[in-house]
Structure 1
Amino acid sequence: MSLYSRWSQYGARLTVILTLAVALLSVLTGIANIGAQSVVGPLAEFIPPAIQRTAGFTGALTGFLILISAFGLRRGLRVAWYSTVVLLPITALQGLMQSSPLSFPLIVLSLLALPNVLANRRHFDRELSFSISQLTALAAIVGAQIYGTVGTYALRDEFANITTLVDAFYYTLVTASTVGYGDAAPTTQSARLFGMSVIVIGTTSFALALGTVLGPAIEARLSRALGRMTDSQLELLSNHILILGYGDLTEAILEEFSQDIRDGTEILVITPDSDNAQHLAERDFNVLTGDPSDEETLRKAHIEEARAILVATNNDAEDALSVLTARDLNTEGYIVAAATNRENIGKLKRAGADTVISPQSIAGEILVRSALNRQSMDEMDELTTEFLDE
């Protein structure tokens, strides 16, 4: 691994670690000040009383938001990078406002983390996409809250302790979530009927959202146990590297990828062996159980959007068929194949591979040069380049 790659890798990791540290400190600071009724920091005289009264718990709330952003950074999401850039100055400002032994470390760590986040922008470029079911669940929750809030405020004269939009939103939230503290309650028949509709619509929207969140998680857990990807995970694949088949050489390829690829590139392995699929899934590799030469399997793996396709098992005949199918489905994709027998290099190229490498031939040539004392690092690099350019 090059020095640049190492520094790039460490920079991305440091960004996630610093963001997590800021999140934890912000939560702790917020908890320490949760009972505070005002702020006493250097900015106290410039802060409106309403904001001062909420300063006690906003630190914890911001901390949880940054924690979510940190997990998004771990996945390389662009939206997580933007939210982190916005939230870090807020945590530093909250540290100035709050009076706590944790405030100073929070300010320093937030200010140190921000330049690092900005400097590592290129590592966080993955788009966040939502499925139709997720968008539907989000729309249902928002719609239910708007319906309840507007309706409750319109009927506020028929409710006890409801005079403002905040009161109406509060009633809708505690009613829809089935908490129901009882401090805000309907006093007329029409208000009770409206409250019943809020319960039905609100609980339904919450149940829909819960199913949308937990359903894919349970599906992913079961799929991982069976050694395969879920349909929702496959739908998100784009600009990925596709590895067709699994063999001894494939294992070396995966080890190399796990060490060198740090730009958020997804790798998907297609293998017909369920045991191999489960083994790869346990090591956190994306895997799809299926025939790597089958058109339906390759379409499910979004082969038309793959940035590169690798074929390297121990069976040249099966590899040739996989290359042929892959080239037919992705005419522009870059295909690299490994030939177990040197005489099959031409066949794999005719099948559609852009580059064919014979590991045995490379190893044999290196051994001969070593035996004749002609080995050097420059010669090894030159030899490797020759085979890559064949």
Structure 2
Amino acid sequence: MLSTRLKALKSVFTPNRWIGALTLLIGGVFLKPVILQIYHLFPQAAGQFTGWKDAISAFGLLTLPQVMLGFAIVLMSIGIFLRARVAWSFTLILLIAIGLFSFLLPTTLYHVGLLSVLDCLCLLWFWREFNQSSLAAGTLFALVSFTSLLLYALCGSLYLGDQFHPAINELSEALYFSTVSMSTVGFGDIVPVTPASRLFTVSIIILGITVFATSISAIIGPMIGGNLKRMIKGRISHAMRKNHIIIIGATPLARSVYTGLTERDETVTVVVPPGVSHDYPAEADVIVDDPSANKTLTAAGADKARYVLVLRNDDSDNAFIVLAAKEVVNAETRIIALVNSDKNLSKMKRVQPDIIFSLQTLASEMLLRKLSGEKMDNENLMDLLFQESH
């Protein structure tokens, strides 16, 4: 009971989940002072603002980057929960920025800086956990990047509004100029006329090109990469399915046999029935299909295999798979079938696999001989474990 509870807790508190929770906490704590400042200051000063520049100045120039960083890190925590590689890298950059903001600038957020350092160390330590490249994570990255850049462009153009010709005084004008600059269209109807405004415009253009390029790659990359990977893997696997060993099943025994064979540099193809979960590694040559179907066994290269190991938990399923395999394999291929229950041993012999082995028979015979004091040599052990069916 205790071990079951520990396993359940371990499955819940995986590294990506508690690191994601820590990242979300950092974002919330980092945003809290800004939200409270806006909440208390805006109702009092709303009537005193004569323009967007006064409003931005009232809240302080540091408010905008703090809001952007906090908002971005909160959204990135979702990607951390999803174990997304792009979220891992982007979160690491944001945490470094938040740490510098907390330690170097005159704020009282030193505890946030310490949490950011801790989060960075955790991300670096568990970097192997974040190996997913998904469309959702890419879309999230694109959304955060585009929103952050748009906020930067809007507030900057409103704050420097008098340094453009004609001047930018309205939010609609700032939105128009920001969009035109981010997309690098550049109609030229609003022109920066001072060095500061020109440098600001250049920064929008450079960041716009970067954001759009990385966003497209983050969204389109997983789609193209996933299809390409499946195509390449399928062709390579098909070419390697010759003089190999086929394992049918996803039982602990099948997984253990797979590990032992791959450690001996054997080429292995695994066939797993649909709807059955397995823990074979990502690089394994796995076919998910009905193992009792001739087309599945043909796709697995049963006609070119050295061995077909039928290792499912259900003896009736194993018998049907043996019958199907006998129609596909060549004369040199040997079919080895597992019998889980002694009462099915005679039935399995009727379908005539080349070798039958029963762990239950072996275990019971070894226990009986141990109790009676009889000795068992290796030859007797192998005869009990592997029985020729014909």
TM range (shorter): 0.3 to 0.5
TM-score, normalised relative to structure 2: 0.41
TM-score, normalised relative to structure 1: 0.41
Of the two, which has the highest radius of gyration?
2
